[in-house]
């Protein structure tokens, strides 16, 4: 037996695993793809149905009534910039993809973070996994999902969800671990049930750090959306990829600036919504 015969690569082990998954779990992957496509198509159809100017006016008006004039002007400017750049449809596609991805990432990371903040053993298990997830280059996430789901928006969505989980999970754990012990002891002393302690004491105290986690999740999701343009995700990421591949620097720059506008829009809207809920709770 020679040294060469002992040599093997991770790819030699991964390929049979992917083939087995595609052969035995194809109905599951097809169902996941169908659900993801249906949700994305529904959101895009709703947002693209009204004329662009009407949608901008409606969103800005709703923002003004709920959160004030300053944020309403920012929303109108961000959406108006995407329209002026001639990238309205692509911007809506990106907003839909990021909205779904961030919602899924938060729905997974938040409960895991709460559990990890309460159970040291869970945190010890999750920490090395999160270290690996945040060390691996972003585009590596696209490889396994493309091998399973082929090209398109579904692998982009799944890779974006996976990439957005670590910062939200870490900061959720940190946020709940930093809740002052005297507040928890006060809630227990007055006989509050665990549900009320979580929603009325811990969550308001942890909200500032949770907002940072949500901000990081949104920004990293947008970064992954740009990379996902390489696998046919469409949207602004696809326009950036097209501009680079064709050396159309104008198109790439316009799409990049539109991504910045979308990032500012989503960040300020989510931050304003959560802060408004906090003031309403008081």
pLDDT of amino acid 18: 63
Task: Concatenate the DSSP letters of all residues of 97-122 into one string.
Answer: HHHHHHHHHHHHHHHHHHHHHH-HHH
Distances (CA, A) of 43 to 37, 92, 131, 197, 227: 10, 9, 33, 35, 22
pLDDT of residue 73: 87
Q: How far is Cα 122 from Cα 134, in angstroms, rounded to an integer?
A: 18
**Residue 7: its pLDDT value, please?**
46
Distance CA 104, CA 24 (A): 26
State the first-to-last Cα distance of the chain, in angstroms, to the nearest integer. Answer: 74
Give how far the C-alpha of residue 8 lies from the chain's centroid of Cα atoms, to the nearest Å.
Answer: 36
Extract the tokens encoding 26: 């194809």
pLDDT confidence of residue 20 = 65
Supply the pLDDT for residue 44. 85
Helices (H), the chain: 3-6, 10-24, 26-48, 52-67, 69-84, 88-118, 120-135, 142-149, 153-177, 181-189, 194-196, 203-228, 235-245, 249-281
Distance of alpha carbon 255 from alpha carbon 243, whole angstroms? 9
Structure tokens at 149: 């789901």
10-residue mean pLDDT profile of the chain (282 residues): values are: 45 60 70 83 87 88 82 87 85 87 89 86 85 77 73 80 87 83 71 72 79 84 76 72 72 80 82 61 49
Q: What is the pTM of this model?
A: 0.81
DSSP state letters, 227-260 = HHGGGT--HHHHHHHHHHHTT-HHHHHHHHHHHH
- Reduced to 3 states, what is the DSSP secondary structure of residue 191? coil
Superfamily the domain 89-281 falls into? MetI-like (1.10.3720.10)
| pLDDT for 12 | 53
Separation CA 86–CA 6 (nearest Å): 56
Report whether 96 contacts 44 (CB < 8 A): yes
Residue 256 CB neighbours (<10 A): 14
The whole-angstrom separation of Cα 234 and Cα 231 is 9
| pLDDT on residue 122 | 82
pLDDT at 3: 44
Neighbours of 62 (CB within 10 A): 12
pLDDT at residue 23 in the model: 66
Sign of torsion over alpha carbons 232, 233, 239, 241: negative
Model pLDDT, residue 6: 44
């Amino acid at each position: 037996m020679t040294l060469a015969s002992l040599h093997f690569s991770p790819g030699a082990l991964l390929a049979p695993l992917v083939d087995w998954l595609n052969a035995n779990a194809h109905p599951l992957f097809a169902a996941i793809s169908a659900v993801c496509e249906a949700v994305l198509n529904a959101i895009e159809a709703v947002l693209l149905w009204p004329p662009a100017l009407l949608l901008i006016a409606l969103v800005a008006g709703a923002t003004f009534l709920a959160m004030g004039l300053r944020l309403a002007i920012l929303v109108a400017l961000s959406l108006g910039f995407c329209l002026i750049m001639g990238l309205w449809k692509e911007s809506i596609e990106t907003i839909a993809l990021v909205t779904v991805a961030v919602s899924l990432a938060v729905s997974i990371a938040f409960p895991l973070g709460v559990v990890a903040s309460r159970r040291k053993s869970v945190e010890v298990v999750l920490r090395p996994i999160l270290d690996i997830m945040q060390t691996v280059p972003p585009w590596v996430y696209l490889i396994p999902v493309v091998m399973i789901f082929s090209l398109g928006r579904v692998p982009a969505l799944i890779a974006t969800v996976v990439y957005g989980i670590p910062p939200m999970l870490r900061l959720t754990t940190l946020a709940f671990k930093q809740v002052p012990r005297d507040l928890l002891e006060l809630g227990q002393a007055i006989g509050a049930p665990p549900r009320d302690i979580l929603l009325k004491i811990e969550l308001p105290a942890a909200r500032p750090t949770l907002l940072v986690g949500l901000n990081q999740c949104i920004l990293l999701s947008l970064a992954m959306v740009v990379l996902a343009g390489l696998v046919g995700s469409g949207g602004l990421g696809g326009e950036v990829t097209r501009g680079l591949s064709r050396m159309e620097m104008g198109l790439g720059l316009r799409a990049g600036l539109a991504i910045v506008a979308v990032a500012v829009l989503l960040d300020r809207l989510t931050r304003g919504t959560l802060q408004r809920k906090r003031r309403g709770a008081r």
